[in-house]
Structure 1
Amino acid sequence: MVHAIAYTVLAIFMLTWGGNWICRKIFKLTGLTDATLETPGPSHSAGRVIGILERLILAVGIVVHSWEILAAVIALKTVARFQKMDQREFAEYFLVGSLFSILWALVVTSAWSAYDHRFGINIREQVVVVLGLEPTLPAN
């Protein structure tokens, strides 16, 4: 059980704080960091929190195989930022951040799920069965 907690905490850390760190590096590499310079300081922190929540919600959707969650997250973010999408630099910033979050959630969650299935206690299968989301497959 300690093993399962350890690799799950590591996955959550990589999904959240690791994702924020890499995303900031991508923005710096692409020169898109300047897209937020005109925005007052507190929204920078809000963007980080939004990114963390976004990747966590996406991870839950991936674990339970609910791709509607992916569409809902993208729709919600787009509606919230619709007025600023006419600004090319902001639109690029938004797209890079959103696409990175989706990709990062897929990579980390898939790695966690594969590790959990192969070496762990198969948490995903237990969660899915408890929530009654899909029938369990018979063991071979």
Structure 2
Amino acid sequence: MIATALIALAVAALAPLLPTRKVPWLGSAVAAAGLAVAGAVAAALPDPVTGVPLVLALVLAVAAAATGGVPLVPLAFTIARRQDSTGPEPAVLHGGLVIGVLERLAVAVSVVSGWPEGIAVVLAVKGLARYPDVRDAHASEHFIIGTFTSVLWALACSGVAAGIAH
């Protein structure tokens, strides 16, 4: 049963590698499905996992948090643009892809290592670093949508890891 969870976490982590030009939401769907399967298996495990399978589950959960969120953030932006189609295009925040991957990695490692306060540190550093860029109202909306999507995805991946470990 743990093998199924590990495979599902690997699928969630590798979802951004899918060619998604014709179906832009495919990577998001595959990542979410992989994480959902891993979470379901984790919830069904009768005993905590230990040893090598636990280490592999933690590594794959952190990898899924860091990379699996890559297709989710653009999907959230697309949904937000459909909701507010009257406003101008939001300003592009340069470095967002790399910052998002690092943010999700830091959040997942903080939670998996048992230091959830690290989330506040990550968000504070990101907010201070991006402050000059987010003074524009549309850029700040873009910043908030991307940050919340990233953090929620990383927390979901960390939750699966916690479910496997306990």
Question: 1:79 — aligned with what?
Answer: 128
Question: 1:94 — aligned with what?
Answer: 143
Q: Distance in 1 between matches of 2:53 and 2:115?
A: 27
In the alignment, structure 1 segments of 5+ residues that lack a partner are 118-140
CA shift, 1:22, in A, is 0.9
CA shift, 1:4, in A, is 4.3
Question: 2:106 — aligned with what?
Answer: 57
Q: Which amino acid aligns with 1:77?
A: K
- Mapped pair 1:24 → 2:74: yes
TM-score when normalising by structure 1: 0.66
CA shift, 1:50, in A, is 1.1
1:69-93, Cα deviation, whole Å (9 max, x unpaired): 1111111111111123221111011
Q: Which amino acid aligns with 1:88?
A: A
Q: Which amino acid aligns with 2:146?
A: G
The structure with the greater share of residues assigned to helix is 1
CA shift, 1:51, in A, is 0.9
Aligned ranges 1:1-140 → 2 under 5 Å: 3-4=53-54, 7-31=57-81, 34-37=89-92, 43=94, 46-117=95-166
CA shift, 1:2, in A, is 6.2
CA shift, 1:6, in A, is 5.1
Specify whether residues 9 and 72 from structure 1 end up closer, same or farther in structure 2 by C-alpha distance, changes over 3 A only: closer
Q: Which amino acid aligns with 2:90?
A: A
1:92-115, Cα deviation, whole Å (9 max, x unpaired): 111111111221111111112212
Contact 2:58–2:112 at 8 Å: present in 1 too?
Answer: no
TM-score when normalising by structure 2: 0.57
In the alignment, structure 2 segments of 5+ residues that lack a partner are 1-50, 83-88
1:102-137, Cα deviation, whole Å (9 max, x unpaired): 2111111111221233xxxxxxxxxxxxxxxxxxxx
Q: How many residues align?
A: 110
Specify whether residues 67 and 115 from structure 1 end up closer, same or farther in structure 2 by C-alpha distance, changes over 3 A only: closer
**What is the DSSP-based 3-state SS (H/G/I as helix, E as strand, rest coil) of the residue aligned with 2:70?**
helix
Specify whether residues 61 and 50 from structure 1 end up closer, same or farther in structure 2 by C-alpha distance, changes over 3 A only: same
Q: Distance in 1 between matches of 2:154 and 2:69?
A: 8
**What is the DSSP-based 3-state SS (H/G/I as helix, E as strand, rest coil) of the residue aligned with 1:53?**
helix
